[in-house]
Amino acid sequence: MISDGSFRLDGKLALVTGASRGIGYHLAKELAGRGAHVIAVARTVGGLEELDDEITKAGGSATLVPLDLTDLPAIDRLGGSIHERWGKLDIMIANAGVLGTISPIGHVEAKVFDKLMTVNVSSVWRLIRTTDPLLKLSDAGRALLLSSSVAHSARAYWAPYAASKAAVEVFARSWAEETKQTKLRVHSVDPGATRTAMRAQAVPGEDPETLPTPAEVAAKIALLCDPAIDETGKLYKVQSGKLLSYNNPS
Ligand code: NDP
Protein backbone atom coordinates (compact mmCIF):
# COMPACT_ATOMS: atom_id res chain seq x y z
CA MET A 1 0.00 0.00 0.00
CA ILE A 2 1.33 3.48 -0.91
CA SER A 3 0.05 6.30 1.31
CA ASP A 4 -2.28 8.91 -0.19
CA GLY A 5 -0.32 11.53 1.77
CA SER A 6 -3.19 12.78 3.90
CA PHE A 7 -1.69 11.61 7.23
CA ARG A 8 -0.42 13.82 10.09
CA LEU A 9 2.40 13.13 12.52
CA ASP A 10 1.34 15.36 15.44
CA GLY A 11 2.86 14.16 18.70
CA LYS A 12 5.37 11.92 16.89
CA LEU A 13 9.11 12.05 17.39
CA ALA A 14 11.32 11.54 14.32
CA LEU A 15 15.10 11.12 14.11
CA VAL A 16 16.71 11.99 10.76
CA THR A 17 20.43 11.63 10.09
CA GLY A 18 22.16 13.70 7.45
CA ALA A 19 19.68 16.51 8.06
CA SER A 20 22.09 19.39 7.32
CA ARG A 21 21.56 19.30 3.53
CA GLY A 22 20.24 17.29 0.60
CA ILE A 23 17.55 14.65 0.99
CA GLY A 24 17.84 14.45 4.80
CA TYR A 25 17.29 18.19 5.20
CA HIS A 26 14.06 17.99 3.24
CA LEU A 27 12.94 14.79 4.95
CA ALA A 28 13.30 16.59 8.29
CA LYS A 29 11.31 19.56 6.97
CA GLU A 30 8.65 17.32 5.51
CA LEU A 31 8.12 15.39 8.76
CA ALA A 32 8.12 18.59 10.85
CA GLY A 33 5.56 20.06 8.43
CA ARG A 34 3.31 17.10 9.19
CA GLY A 35 3.57 17.84 12.93
CA ALA A 36 6.45 15.62 14.10
CA HIS A 37 9.14 16.93 16.42
CA VAL A 38 12.37 16.25 14.54
CA ILE A 39 15.72 15.25 16.00
CA ALA A 40 18.08 16.45 13.28
CA VAL A 41 21.55 14.86 13.19
CA ALA A 42 24.60 15.93 11.14
CA ARG A 43 28.03 17.52 11.59
CA THR A 44 27.41 20.90 9.94
CA VAL A 45 25.90 23.18 12.55
CA GLY A 46 25.13 25.92 9.98
CA GLY A 47 23.01 23.52 7.93
CA LEU A 48 21.17 22.29 11.02
CA GLU A 49 20.50 25.86 12.16
CA GLU A 50 19.14 26.79 8.75
CA LEU A 51 16.84 23.78 8.96
CA ASP A 52 15.74 24.76 12.45
CA ASP A 53 14.93 28.32 11.25
CA GLU A 54 12.83 26.99 8.38
CA ILE A 55 11.00 24.49 10.58
CA THR A 56 10.33 27.05 13.31
CA LYS A 57 9.09 29.65 10.80
CA ALA A 58 6.61 27.09 9.50
CA GLY A 59 5.32 26.46 13.03
CA GLY A 60 7.19 23.19 13.68
CA SER A 61 9.87 22.17 16.13
CA ALA A 62 13.24 20.43 16.06
CA THR A 63 16.10 19.38 18.32
CA LEU A 64 19.52 19.75 16.72
CA VAL A 65 22.17 17.11 17.36
CA PRO A 66 25.56 18.06 15.89
CA LEU A 67 27.19 14.65 15.71
CA ASP A 68 29.83 12.92 13.62
CA LEU A 69 28.44 9.46 12.88
CA THR A 70 31.97 8.02 12.85
CA ASP A 71 31.81 8.53 16.63
CA LEU A 72 30.04 5.21 17.17
CA PRO A 73 29.81 5.33 21.00
CA ALA A 74 28.07 8.72 20.64
CA ILE A 75 25.34 6.98 18.63
CA ASP A 76 24.83 4.52 21.50
CA ARG A 77 24.48 7.48 23.89
CA LEU A 78 21.93 9.13 21.58
CA GLY A 79 19.45 6.32 22.20
CA GLY A 80 19.86 6.71 25.94
CA SER A 81 19.32 10.48 25.73
CA ILE A 82 16.16 10.04 23.64
CA HIS A 83 14.86 7.51 26.14
CA GLU A 84 15.53 9.81 29.08
CA ARG A 85 13.92 12.86 27.46
CA TRP A 86 11.03 11.39 25.47
CA GLY A 87 10.72 7.73 26.47
CA LYS A 88 10.13 6.51 22.89
CA LEU A 89 10.82 7.19 19.22
CA ASP A 90 8.27 6.98 16.40
CA ILE A 91 10.35 7.40 13.24
CA MET A 92 14.02 6.75 12.49
CA ILE A 93 15.49 7.63 9.10
CA ALA A 94 19.09 6.55 8.52
CA ASN A 95 19.78 8.86 5.62
CA ALA A 96 23.34 10.13 6.15
CA GLY A 97 25.83 8.64 3.77
CA VAL A 98 29.07 9.23 1.94
CA LEU A 99 30.11 8.22 -1.58
CA GLY A 100 33.83 7.62 -1.08
CA THR A 101 35.84 7.65 -4.29
CA ILE A 102 34.66 6.37 -7.65
CA SER A 103 37.63 4.31 -8.81
CA PRO A 104 38.71 0.78 -9.71
CA ILE A 105 38.15 -1.50 -6.72
CA GLY A 106 41.86 -2.15 -6.27
CA HIS A 107 42.70 1.56 -6.18
CA VAL A 108 40.44 2.54 -3.29
CA GLU A 109 42.47 3.86 -0.37
CA ALA A 110 42.00 1.91 2.85
CA LYS A 111 41.17 5.02 4.86
CA VAL A 112 38.47 6.05 2.35
CA PHE A 113 37.01 2.54 2.41
CA ASP A 114 37.04 2.36 6.21
CA LYS A 115 35.36 5.75 6.61
CA LEU A 116 32.69 4.86 4.04
CA MET A 117 31.92 1.60 5.83
CA THR A 118 31.82 3.38 9.18
CA VAL A 119 29.35 6.05 8.04
CA ASN A 120 27.26 3.95 5.64
CA VAL A 121 27.20 0.62 7.50
CA SER A 122 28.50 0.65 11.09
CA SER A 123 26.68 3.84 12.05
CA VAL A 124 23.44 2.48 10.58
CA TRP A 125 23.78 -0.70 12.63
CA ARG A 126 24.49 1.34 15.77
CA LEU A 127 21.43 3.47 15.02
CA ILE A 128 19.32 0.36 14.60
CA ARG A 129 20.67 -1.09 17.83
CA THR A 130 20.09 2.05 19.87
CA THR A 131 16.67 2.95 18.43
CA ASP A 132 15.10 -0.53 18.13
CA PRO A 133 13.80 -0.61 21.75
CA LEU A 134 12.55 2.99 21.48
CA LEU A 135 10.76 2.39 18.17
CA LYS A 136 9.04 -0.65 19.66
CA LEU A 137 7.58 1.63 22.33
CA SER A 138 5.81 3.65 19.63
CA ASP A 139 2.25 2.74 18.63
CA ALA A 140 3.39 2.87 14.97
CA GLY A 141 7.20 2.79 14.78
CA ARG A 142 8.71 3.48 11.36
CA ALA A 143 12.31 2.96 10.23
CA LEU A 144 13.68 3.86 6.81
CA LEU A 145 17.19 3.08 5.64
CA LEU A 146 18.43 4.97 2.58
CA SER A 147 19.84 2.73 -0.12
CA SER A 148 20.76 3.07 -3.78
CA SER A 149 20.11 1.23 -7.04
CA VAL A 150 23.80 0.29 -7.18
CA ALA A 151 23.17 -2.12 -4.28
CA HIS A 152 21.74 -4.54 -6.85
CA SER A 153 22.95 -3.42 -10.27
CA ALA A 154 26.58 -3.92 -11.18
CA ARG A 155 28.37 -0.63 -11.81
CA ALA A 156 32.11 -0.42 -12.41
CA TYR A 157 34.10 1.76 -9.97
CA TRP A 158 31.34 2.05 -7.36
CA ALA A 159 32.12 -1.15 -5.40
CA PRO A 160 32.60 0.15 -1.82
CA TYR A 161 29.54 2.43 -1.94
CA ALA A 162 27.46 -0.30 -3.65
CA ALA A 163 28.55 -2.90 -1.07
CA SER A 164 27.64 -0.52 1.77
CA LYS A 165 24.15 0.02 0.37
CA ALA A 166 23.67 -3.73 -0.18
CA ALA A 167 24.49 -4.16 3.52
CA VAL A 168 21.92 -1.52 4.42
CA GLU A 169 19.23 -3.32 2.43
CA VAL A 170 20.04 -6.57 4.19
CA PHE A 171 19.82 -4.79 7.55
CA ALA A 172 16.36 -3.51 6.61
CA ARG A 173 15.09 -6.90 5.46
CA SER A 174 16.52 -8.76 8.45
CA TRP A 175 15.29 -6.18 10.97
CA ALA A 176 11.83 -6.22 9.37
CA GLU A 177 11.73 -10.00 9.62
CA GLU A 178 12.74 -9.90 13.29
CA THR A 179 10.12 -7.29 14.15
CA LYS A 180 7.17 -8.28 11.96
CA GLN A 181 5.13 -9.34 15.01
CA THR A 182 5.56 -5.85 16.53
CA LYS A 183 4.14 -2.50 15.44
CA LEU A 184 7.51 -1.47 13.98
CA ARG A 185 7.66 -1.26 10.18
CA VAL A 186 11.04 -1.20 8.42
CA HIS A 187 11.83 -0.43 4.78
CA SER A 188 14.78 0.48 2.62
CA VAL A 189 14.38 3.16 0.00
CA ASP A 190 16.42 4.17 -3.02
CA PRO A 191 15.81 7.88 -3.63
CA GLY A 192 16.97 7.68 -7.27
CA ALA A 193 19.23 10.28 -8.84
CA THR A 194 18.60 13.50 -6.89
CA ARG A 195 19.99 17.06 -7.18
CA THR A 196 22.34 17.01 -4.17
CA ALA A 197 26.02 17.49 -3.34
CA MET A 198 26.54 13.72 -3.36
CA ARG A 199 25.11 13.34 -6.86
CA ALA A 200 27.25 16.24 -8.13
CA GLN A 201 30.32 14.49 -6.69
CA ALA A 202 29.29 11.17 -8.25
CA VAL A 203 28.41 12.50 -11.72
CA PRO A 204 30.21 15.86 -12.08
CA GLY A 205 29.39 16.45 -15.76
CA GLU A 206 25.64 16.14 -15.29
CA ASP A 207 23.29 19.13 -15.56
CA PRO A 208 21.66 19.25 -12.09
CA GLU A 209 18.57 20.91 -13.58
CA THR A 210 17.71 17.57 -15.20
CA LEU A 211 17.35 15.92 -11.77
CA PRO A 212 14.49 16.03 -9.27
CA THR A 213 15.11 18.28 -6.28
CA PRO A 214 15.72 16.81 -2.84
CA ALA A 215 12.47 18.42 -1.69
CA GLU A 216 10.49 16.54 -4.36
CA VAL A 217 12.20 13.25 -3.53
CA ALA A 218 11.86 13.70 0.25
CA ALA A 219 8.13 14.35 -0.11
CA LYS A 220 7.77 10.90 -1.69
CA ILE A 221 9.99 9.09 0.82
CA ALA A 222 8.10 10.65 3.73
CA LEU A 223 4.96 8.82 2.56
CA LEU A 224 6.54 5.69 4.06
CA CYS A 225 6.09 7.26 7.52
CA ASP A 226 2.30 7.00 7.25
CA PRO A 227 1.22 5.30 10.51
CA ALA A 228 -1.49 3.43 8.56
CA ILE A 229 0.97 1.39 6.46
CA ASP A 230 1.06 -2.20 7.60
CA GLU A 231 3.67 -3.74 5.27
CA THR A 232 7.24 -4.24 6.40
CA GLY A 233 10.55 -5.30 4.84
CA LYS A 234 9.89 -3.75 1.44
CA LEU A 235 12.33 -2.11 -0.92
CA TYR A 236 11.10 1.17 -2.41
CA LYS A 237 12.46 3.56 -4.98
CA VAL A 238 11.55 7.03 -6.13
CA GLN A 239 11.33 7.14 -9.90
CA SER A 240 9.75 9.65 -12.29
CA GLY A 241 8.13 11.46 -9.36
CA LYS A 242 6.55 8.31 -7.95
CA LEU A 243 7.24 6.11 -4.94
CA LEU A 244 7.36 2.53 -6.18
CA SER A 245 7.78 -0.78 -4.41
CA TYR A 246 10.05 -3.20 -6.19
CA ASN A 247 10.90 -6.81 -5.56
CA ASN A 248 13.57 -7.50 -3.04
CA PRO A 249 16.46 -9.19 -4.84
CA SER A 250 16.27 -12.16 -2.52
P1 NDP B 1 24.42 14.71 0.66
O2 NDP B 1 25.88 14.50 0.42
O3 NDP B 1 23.76 15.86 0.01
O4 NDP B 1 24.13 14.78 2.22
C5 NDP B 1 24.68 13.80 3.06
C6 NDP B 1 24.26 14.06 4.48
O7 NDP B 1 24.93 13.07 5.31
C8 NDP B 1 24.67 15.43 4.97
O9 NDP B 1 23.66 15.99 5.77
C10 NDP B 1 25.90 15.13 5.81
O11 NDP B 1 25.99 16.05 6.89
C12 NDP B 1 25.58 13.73 6.36
N13 NDP B 1 26.82 13.06 6.74
C14 NDP B 1 27.82 12.62 5.95
N15 NDP B 1 28.83 12.15 6.70
C16 NDP B 1 28.45 12.28 7.99
C17 NDP B 1 29.06 12.00 9.24
N18 NDP B 1 30.31 11.48 9.31
N19 NDP B 1 28.40 12.28 10.38
C20 NDP B 1 27.16 12.82 10.33
N21 NDP B 1 26.53 13.11 9.18
C22 NDP B 1 27.17 12.85 8.03
O23 NDP B 1 23.71 13.32 0.26
P24 NDP B 1 22.27 13.03 -0.38
O25 NDP B 1 21.25 13.89 0.27
O26 NDP B 1 22.41 13.00 -1.85
O27 NDP B 1 22.08 11.50 0.07
C28 NDP B 1 21.23 11.09 1.14
C29 NDP B 1 21.17 9.57 1.10
O30 NDP B 1 20.61 9.13 -0.13
C31 NDP B 1 22.54 8.90 1.22
O32 NDP B 1 22.45 7.77 2.03
C33 NDP B 1 22.85 8.50 -0.22
O34 NDP B 1 23.74 7.41 -0.27
C35 NDP B 1 21.46 8.18 -0.75
N36 NDP B 1 21.35 8.29 -2.22
C37 NDP B 1 21.46 9.51 -2.83
C38 NDP B 1 21.30 9.61 -4.20
C39 NDP B 1 21.42 10.91 -4.94
O40 NDP B 1 21.33 10.93 -6.18
N41 NDP B 1 21.60 12.04 -4.27
C42 NDP B 1 21.01 8.42 -5.04
C43 NDP B 1 20.92 7.19 -4.28
C44 NDP B 1 21.07 7.15 -2.92
P45 NDP B 1 27.32 16.77 7.40
O46 NDP B 1 28.28 16.83 6.25
O47 NDP B 1 26.82 18.08 7.88
O48 NDP B 1 27.78 15.89 8.52
Give ipTM to 2 decimals. 0.99
For 221-241, how does the pLDDT look when each residue is reduced to its tens digit (9 = 90+)?
A: 999 999 999 999 999 999 999
The pLDDT of residue 29: 98
Amino acid at 50: E
| Percentage above 90 pLDDT, the chain | 95
Query: By alpha-carbon position, which residue is closest to atom 9 of ligand 1?
Result: 18
Q: Is 161 a catalytic residue?
A: yes
CA distance 151 to 190: 9
Q: Is the pLDDT of residue 151 over 60?
A: yes
Atom of ligand 1 nearest to the CA of 161: 34
CA distance 89 to 18: 18
**What domains appear along the chain, each with residue ranges and CATH number?**
13-246 (3.40.50.720)
CA distance 91 to 18: 15
Mean pLDDT of 78-84: 98
Mean pLDDT of 5-28: 98
Q: Is the pLDDT of residue 250 over 60?
A: no
Mean pLDDT of 105-111: 97
Distance from Cα 202 to the centre of ligand 1, integer Å: 12
Question: pLDDT grade, residue 154 (50/70/90)?
Answer: confident
More confident position, 164 or 153:
164
Residue among 129, 130, 161, 132 nearest 147 (CA): 161
Mean pLDDT of 82-104: 98
Query: By alpha-carbon position, which residue is closest to atom 43 of ligand 1?
Result: 148
Average of per-residue pLDDT values in the chain: 96
Distance from Cα 197 to the centre of ligand 1, integer Å: 8
Q: State whether residue 26 is helix, strand or coil.
A: helix
For 206-217, how does the pLDDT look when each residue is reduced to its tens digit (9 = 90+)?
A: 999 999 999 999
Distance from Cα 181 to the centre of ligand 1, integer Å: 31
The pLDDT of residue 248: 62
Find out whether the beta carbon of 217 lies less than 6 Å from any atom of ligand 1.
no
CA distance 189 to 231: 14
| Percentage above 70 pLDDT, the chain | 98
CA distance 58 to 132: 30
Q: What is the β-pairing status of strands 13-17 and 91-94?
A: parallel
Mutate to test the pocket of ligand 1, among 15, 17, 23, 235 (most ligand atoms within 8 A of CB): 23
Q: Where are the beta strands (DSSP E) in the chain?
A: 13-17, 37-42, 61-66, 91-94, 142-146, 185-190, 234-239, 242-246
Name the strands in the sheet holding 61-66, side by side, starting at the edge strand that comes first in the sequence: 61-66, 37-42, 13-17, 91-94, 142-146, 185-190, 234-239, 242-246
CA distance 168 to 157: 19
Contacts of 179 (CB under 8 A, 6+ apart): 132, 136, 186, 232
